[in-house]
Homo-oligomer: A and B are copies of this chain.
Amino acid sequence: MLDPKTIQDLPTPALVADRDALERNLATMAKALPAARLRPHVKAHKCTALAWRQAELGHRNFTCATVREVEGMAAAGLGDDLLLANEVLDCSRLGVLDAHVTVAVDSEATIEAAVRGGIEQCLIDVNVGLPRCGCAPGDAGRLADLARSRGLEVRGVMGYEGHLMMVEDRAAQKLSTAESMALLLQAHGDVGGELVSAGGTGTYDLNEAASEIQAGSYALMDTAYAKLGLPFELALTVVASVISVSEKWSVADCGLKALAMDHGDPEVDGARVWFCSDEHLTFAPEPALEVGDRIRVKPAHVDPTMAKHEALYLVSGDQVVDRWEIDLRGW
């Protein structure tokens, strides 16, 4: 028996996932992209307990964004095939892990860092339109040759079409994704290897070029992704207590230290959100609430919201059924 037993007993603010919605999301994705067709991205939840559920549903290969995430996944027994889909200049903590680690490289410096750190496998990271990491598509072959000459196994290419995740017109999104992936396939032709790793929750069903999709947000979702009409439910909320009520507004005890603000304000059903400050949400509920009432606040962006909390409470209805450590935080 867990203590606390119901949502009303949780110390607030509390990060909460609806277990049933989460399980439906996991099952929907596992059916659409079974086993190795999905390489779940743990940066979206930073929680090895959730990663274990993904593994139990057939996905044994994972994507990570930080060295800490790779370390934590290895320690949790999920090190079969970990892709650090990011450029890293100090791989020394990776080379010593009892896990199968592949890193992304997009330059001579990152190739040398992989070699220096004792990494054996890499993907060539290709820029496919998002102004971030990745080499020019035409440079991928040269980097693959260099990596192989330095003793690395080159497993293929990756390229994240992150600039296309939030396109609301699905036909336009599909077309743009295909154009973006044409760049990746061109690079893959020069690089070789079995992997073409790309995609995310927004394009998981549109990206026909990738051999594996790096989606992560689908498991818990947020209000930004919820607007796209994908078959995934918003499973994540922050439970807060109403601590102050005045004539025109009410105040709950969750603020911008509990909620990611980069995608804008959170949402509360039946209320207008006025603003967040460090530890407060000022909002106007309709009908009025009383001090002590609990509300469910919907974050605008799942990944950085998870990173602000120590634990995720699983609930079924009002019952708290589990508590998962968010154990992949930090760097």
| Interface of A toward B, CB cutoff 8 Å | 11-13, 43, 65-67, 86-90, 106-107, 109-110, 127, 131-134, 136, 162, 241, 243-246, 248-249, 251, 253, 256-258, 260-262, 274, 276-280, 282, 290-292, 303-304, 307-310, 330-331
Q: Bound state CA distance, A203 and B100, in angstroms?
A: 55
Q: Are A11 and B43 in contact (CB under 8 A)?
A: no
Copies of this protein chain in the complex = 2
User: Interface majority SS on A: helix, strand, loop or mixed?
Assistant: loop
Contact call A277/B110, Cβ cutoff below 8 A: no
Please report the C-alpha to C-alpha distance between residue A13 and residue B127 in the assembled complex, in whole angstroms. Answer: 23
With contacts A90-B11, A331-B13 known, is A243 near B133, CB below 8 A? yes
Instruction: Identify the closest chain B residue to A258 (Cβ).
Output: B331
The closest CB in chain B to the CB of A262 belongs to: B261
A sample of 7 more A-B contacts (CB under 8 A), given A87-B253, A87-B291, A132-B251, is A107-B244, A107-B245, A110-B244, A131-B274, A257-B304, A258-B331, A307-B308
CB-based contact B11/A331 at 8 Å: yes
By the criterion CB–CB under 8 Å, are A109 and B12 in contact? no
Taking the nearest CB of chain B, how far is it from the CB of A257, in angstroms?
5
